[in-house]
Amino acid sequence: MLENIAQKFTDITKQLSGKGKITEKNIEDAVNEIKIALLEADVNLRVVRRFVNRTIEEAKGEKVLKAVDPGQQFTKIVYDKIVALLGDENQALNLNSPNKTTTILMLGLQGAGKTTASAKLAYKLKKEGRNPLLVAADLVRPAAIEQLKVLGSQIDVPVYFEEHKDAVKIVNNALDYGKKNQFNTIIIDTAGRLQLDQDMMNEIIAVKKAVNPDETMFVADAMTGQNAVEIAKSFDEQVGISSVMLTKFDSDTRGGAALSLKSSTGKPIKFIGIGEKIEDIEPFFPERVASRILGMGDVVSLVEKVQESVTQDEAEQMQKKMMSATFTLEDYLDQFKKLKKMGSMQSLVGMIPGMAGKINDEDIDEKGMKREEAIILSMTILERRNHRLIGPPRKKRIAKGSGTSVAEVSRLLKKFDKMRLMMKKVTKNKKYQAQLMQQFGG
């Protein structure tokens, strides 16, 4: 997520940080580099120009040149400007009170992730206590209805559909059905084509008129950069949108769409899609994204993720187990699961201040973790609780069952033994703390 742009911005601001004095020339150079970085990130040229002019104007003022740490002051200006580009603050969904129906219309081109986004939103709102109904009104893409049904059953949210091509009729009937059956949030997945075409627009305009939605959310593919912004503008002009959900943000290293959308369309990004799984949806927080872009990390999101995945009780229990050396392979496996729930290691590392862009995929041994997980899953429960039970014949079976080798199984068991030994020592001696941390890193 945003690795490329984060790396560039970190390099630029680092050059100025720590300098007791900076000149106007230093500022001009830095702003010039920022300009290049933004253009490379595929940010709209007009947006870049405005950004650059405003930054120069403010940075050349007395406040920066005479600041105690001018580099820091400069970074703060850039940070504020990026927050403003991203839309200042998080904007919530337009939701009615639970006893009144809320309708959400999802728009976008085929492949942008509209169907996935509809289900993700339903899942999120359901978790928040609402009673959502999904409506399959994408009658163009043949598999869209089936896909929505599959996603709906995964999250236990009903999907309304009809076997004909009259979208307006379908949504009208869906609204009646929803109201009669106490669904208070109706999310409608509309038709998308590969390119904009007038037939699709006309259909969506008619559907919007029939629904009169509380929220008209444009689903934009972050990977398509400025193109996504242009399409959003076009939808806004013809249909009218109220917000944007930016999908595939997890795969977007440049950030161009995120940085241009608000200032080009005036519409806030309310959510981001950060993976293919149904829970991979997050509210969009400009400050957090700006922190990431400037390589300051995103500690708030990281803490929230940990809190979502591990309760305070669980954390305390785990700590106790570690300290009393009753930590088993079963617990170790449990930790993998919790880590997985938090998302990919790469995305977690990106949230740690100063780490964005510094760690490559090769540095994070996710494959190794998966192999270790496979090995543990091939053990019996008794073996997971007491790995000393595993003799040579069982090692062979476990290696076969997990598609690994006896050497790998032995290595994991040895590593685990070492880890437990270290945990025991840690309770007695603080200096082992660092070694223990290293051990966890693999």
Please tell me whether residue 102 adopts helix, strand or coil conformation.
Answer: strand
* Cα distances (Å, whole numbers) of residue 275 to 19, 113, 120, 262, 442: 40, 10, 10, 22, 25
Q: Is 16 annotated as a binding residue?
A: no
Structure tokens belonging to residue 116 = 């996935």
Contact 342, 306 (CB under 8 A): yes
In the complex, what is the shortest distance from the CB of residue 192 to ligand GDP, in angstroms, rounded to a whole number?
A: 5
Q: Is 224 annotated as a binding residue?
A: no
Q: Is 193 annotated as a binding residue?
A: yes
Q: Is 440 annotated as a binding residue?
A: no
412 CB-near residues (< 8 Å, 6+ apart): 372, 375, 376
In the complex, what is the shortest distance from the CB of residue 219 to ligand GDP, in angstroms, rounded to a whole number?
A: 6
Q: Is 76 annotated as a binding residue?
A: no
Q: Is 190 annotated as a binding residue?
A: yes
Residue numbers of the site for ligand GDP (CB under 6 A)? 108, 110-116, 141, 144, 147, 192, 247-248, 250-251, 273-276, 280
Strand partners, 178: none
In the complex, what is the shortest distance from the CB of residue 272 to ligand GDP, in angstroms, rounded to a whole number?
A: 7
Taking the least distance from each CB to ligand GDP, the nearer of 114 and 208 is 114
Q: In the sheet that 132-137 helps form, which strands lie side by side, from edge to edge?
A: 159-160, 132-137, 185-190, 102-107, 215-221, 243-247, 269-273, 281-283
Taking the least distance from each CB to ligand GDP, the nearer of 192 and 213 is 192
Taking the least distance from each CB to ligand GDP, the nearer of 146 and 287 is 146
Q: What are phi and psi of 216, to 5 degrees?
A: -115, 105
d(CA 353, CA 296) in angstroms, rounded, equals 4
Contact 214, 96 (CB under 8 A): yes
* Number of Cβ within a 10 Å radius of residue 232: 25
Q: Amino acid identity, residue 250?
A: D
Taking the least distance from each CB to ligand GDP, the nearer of 111 and 353 is 111
- 33: closest CA among 7, 66, 58? 7
Taking the least distance from each CB to ligand GDP, the nearer of 280 and 408 is 280
Query: In whole angstroms, what separates CA 414 from the centre of its chain?
Result: 36
Q: Is 35 annotated as a binding residue?
A: no
Taking the least distance from each CB to ligand GDP, the nearer of 346 and 410 is 346
Taking the least distance from each CB to ligand GDP, the nearer of 115 and 243 is 115
In the complex, what is the shortest distance from the CB of residue 251 to ligand GDP, in angstroms, rounded to a whole number?
A: 5
Structure tokens belonging to residue 257 = 């769409």
Q: Is 110 annotated as a binding residue?
A: yes
- 289: closest CA among 113, 88, 53? 88
Which residue's Cβ has the minimum distance to ligand GDP?
273
In the complex, what is the shortest distance from the CB of residue 141 to ligand GDP, in angstroms, rounded to a whole number?
A: 6
In the complex, what is the shortest distance from the CB of residue 195 to ligand GDP, in angstroms, rounded to a whole number?
A: 13
In the complex, what is the shortest distance from the CB of residue 271 to ligand GDP, in angstroms, rounded to a whole number?
A: 10
Q: Which residues are annotated as a binding site?
A: 108-115, 189-193, 247-250
Q: Which residues are annotated as a binding site for GTP?
A: 108-115, 189-193, 247-250
